[in-house]
Amino acid sequence: MRIPLALFALASSCVSALALDLKGRIQWTQDCPSLKVLGQAKVILDNGKLRGGVTRDGSFVIPDVPAGTYILSVVAHDHHFDQLRVDVLESDTLPEVRPYFPGTPLSPAAPATLPYPIVLSARGKNDYFVPRESFNVLAMFKNPMMLMMLGAGVLVLLMPMMMKNMDPEALEEFKERHAKMSSIQNSLQSGDLASGLSQLLSSGGDEHKAAASAPSKGPSSGGAKQRSSKNKRR
């Protein structure tokens, strides 16, 4: 039992020797002059994989950071900070700190480096207040439902003028179709589907009959004219 314990202690000592305490501080500015204004904040690596707290003077320490590449960010309720890329090397050299923009690939690394220990400052305050939208007349007319209502109103206003200019036959046909459609709608709204469907089918059959009878009149009248002309010649 002593040998495994000794190996475990040796391995843990090697890991602790390779690990690094990442140090830095938050520089107080006019937007964030003290820890009281900053509130409860923490400095994290890779979305909370490793973390450290912020003291009164703004300093922070993230203990036992193994070798690797990390994204450092500050989590605060009322302020936002820039993110940094931190490369912890396996050698005894200091970690390399670089600026990082969300969405950019980690490889290749940017040539520009920042000094170590890390220095961060608040870029601004988070504004959670959403102002109430005021009444906007133009926004109402951008609504599709409002446009449909306006179009229907324009048609209602222009319908009497259009009906005055229509031919009497076309006007009568329009009135008949309107009466049929209104009766079909009434029957469907009342729940009488059978009568509504029968009226709809009968109106469609009447239209087909009218369309079929219209061209048949032409040749019959033409044939009658030809016969009358032949009789006159005789």
Select from 32, 109, 136, 131 the least CA-distant residue to 77: 32
Higher pLDDT, 91 or 114: 114
**Token pair 């690990």: residue:** 19
Q: pLDDT digit string (tens) for 68-97?
A: 999 999 999 999 999 999 999 888 788 999
Contact by Cβ (8 Å): 87, 98? yes
> Considering the entire predicted model, what is its pTM?
0.51
The per-residue pLDDT of the chain, averaged, comes to 77
| pLDDT(103) > 90 | no
C-alpha span between 137 and 223 (Å, rounded): 67
Would you give the distance in Å from CA 63 to the centre of its chain?
Answer: 41
The model's confidence at residue 216, banded by pLDDT at 50, 70 and 90, is very low
Query: In whole angstroms, how far apart are CA 112 and each of 16, 84, 108, 115, 128?
Result: 29, 12, 12, 10, 34
The H or E element spanning position 148 is helix 144-164
pLDDT of the residue at 221? 47
